[in-house]
Amino acid sequence: MSINVMTIHEGKMMIDYAYPCMMAEKALKKAHDAVLDNDLDAAIIEALVAMSEAKLMLSALRHMKAMKEVKERK
């Protein structure tokens, strides 16, 4: 599982949503490959990793939405 990746965009620090998205995709592919190899334990682990990464992405998106709403109120 990744951690929230902070990046600087237009001079402002922000949470990167793309990295956990890519890691979730990678974990889903690994899960799929593990199922094809009949390694269901590995598939379950990779599915859990994908869910964790997707949760990090969701957190970043919610943060981005909140920042957008604050900006729009000004």
How many Cα atoms within 13 Å fall on the side-chain side of residue 38?
0
Q: What is the pLDDT of residue 10?
A: 79
pLDDT in tens, 20-52: 999 999 999 999 999 999 999 999 999 999 999
Number of domains in the chain: 1
* Res 2 pLDDT > 60: no
Q: What is the pLDDT of residue 4?
A: 57
Q: Which helix (H) or strand (E) holds 21?
A: helix 18-36
* Res 3 pLDDT > 70: no
Domain range enclosing 28:
5-73
pLDDT in tens, 4-17: 567 776 787 777 89
Q: What is the pLDDT of residue 13?
A: 74
